[in-house]
């Protein structure tokens, strides 16, 4: 019988450094026909160290390889950071749903990201850069800890050609950067409240960003967020990632705020 837990080997083709604690891995396709949509994730496997869900961060138009950006944060990711070019990573997936990109077509869209939350939304940004006429306007609010924690810094210039890219740092070392958390950008830039918003960041960020957006008059139906959870199976069985009636691994990781706002368990720990 087909075994859903069997991983496929991907070869590391290139490793790029992203600030002081993240790396972008360009990987060969794990199997023929591997395809994904922006917002989806794969389970990565390093035998002996287990598995973890990681969002795919590359451009969907790239069909020969794909990219994962991984911050060193736990046992598995620390081990991954030791890997070198030509080493092998186990992959299964892609899993989960995608950001509803069509909803934003012809409209203004807002992308809000905190820390390594920029990774799952990067396919969206790269798609927008490739199709400058797809949206009326693309605004990006990105908040990072400091200069060392900025991910994809080399690409910002390219993004700026199409997007209104706004960066803020919690603790900037130089005066060149805006200081403050990502929520402060909502006071600086006025975004039309009928825009479609795509958000990804640490749990604490959601609480404040959503509070701010609801106050400004955004529609909960137009706010889409990608959630991080502990996952073991990736297929809605093991229960670790459950939020209310949903499984983040299968029904998510992207949810509209409308779907989540009533569930007791969702905003509470944040």
Residues that bind other proteins (CB under 8 A): 1-7, 9, 21, 45, 47-51, 72-75, 77-78, 88, 90, 115, 202-203, 228-230, 232-233, 235-240, 242, 244-245, 247, 262, 264-265, 268-269
Q: Which is nearer to other proteins, 87 or 164 (CB)?
A: 87
Rounded least distance, CB 251 to other proteins, Å: 10
- What size, in residues, is the chain? 270
Of 59 and 87, CB closest to other proteins: 87
**H and E: helices and strands count for the chain:** 7, 15
Which CB atom, from 61 or from 265, has the smaller least distance to other proteins?
265
Pairwise CA distance, residues 64 & 26, whole Å? 10
Longest dimension (CA), the chain: 60
Measured between alpha carbons, how far is 267 from 71 in angstroms, rounded to an integer?
25
Residue 215 and residue 191 in contact, taking contact as beta carbons nearer than 8 Å:
no
CB-CB contact of 191 with 103 (8 Å): no
* Nearest-approach distance from CB 247 to other proteins, in angstroms: 8
Query: Which of 25, 58, 23 lies closest to 40 in space, CA to CA?
Result: 58
Pick 72 or 212: Cβ nearer other proteins: 72
List the one residue out of 153, 103, 97 whose CA is nearest residue 120: 97
User: Measured from the CB atom, is 12 or 162 closer to other proteins?
Assistant: 12
Q: Which is nearer to other proteins, 5 or 31 (CB)?
A: 5
First to last CA, the chain: 41
Task: Sort residue 257 into left (φ over 0), alpha (ψ -120 to 50) or beta.
Answer: alpha
**In the complex, least distance from residue 37 CB atom to other proteins, rounded to whole angstroms:** 22
Minimum CB separation of residue 34 from other proteins in Å reads 17
Least distance (Å) from other proteins to the CB of residue 200?
A: 14
Min dist. Cβ of residue 14 to other proteins (A): 19
**Spatial separation of the C-alpha atoms in residues 99 and 97, rounded to whole Å:** 7
């Amino acid at each position: 019988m087909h075994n859903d837990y069997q991983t496929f080997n991907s070869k590391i083709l290139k490793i790029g450094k992203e600030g002081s604690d993240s790396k972008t891995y360009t990987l060969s396709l794990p199997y023929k026909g591997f395809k994904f949509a922006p917002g989806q994730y794969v389970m990565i496997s390093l035998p002996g160290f287990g598995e973890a869900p990681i969002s795919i961060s590359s451009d969907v138009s790239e069909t020969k390889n794909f990219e994962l950006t991984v911050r060193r944060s736990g046992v598995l990711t620390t081990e991954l950071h030791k890997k070198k070019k030509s080493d092998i990573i186990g992959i299964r997936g892609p899993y989960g749903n995608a950001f509803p990109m069509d909803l934003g077509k012809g409209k203004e869209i807002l992308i809000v990201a905190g820390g390594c939350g920029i990774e799952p939304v990067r396919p969206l940004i790269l798609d927008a850069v490739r199709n400058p006429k797809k949206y009326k306007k693309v605004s990006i609010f990105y908040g990072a800890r400091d200069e060392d924690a900025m991910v994809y810094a080399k690409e910002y210039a390219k993004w700026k050609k199409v997007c209104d890219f706004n960066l803020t740092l919690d603790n900037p070392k130089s005066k060149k950067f805006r200081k403050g958390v990502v929520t402060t950008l909502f006071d600086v830039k006025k975004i039309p409240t009928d825009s479609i918003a795509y958000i990804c960041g640490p749990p604490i960020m959601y609480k404040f960003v959503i509070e701010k957006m609801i106050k400004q008059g955004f529609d909960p139906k137009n706010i889409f967020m990608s959630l991080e959870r502990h996952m073991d199976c990736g297929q809605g069985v093991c229960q670790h990632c459950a939020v209310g009636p949903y499984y983040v691994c299968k029904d998510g990781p992207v949810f509209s705020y409308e779907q989540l706002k009533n569930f007791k368990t969702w905003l509470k720990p944040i």
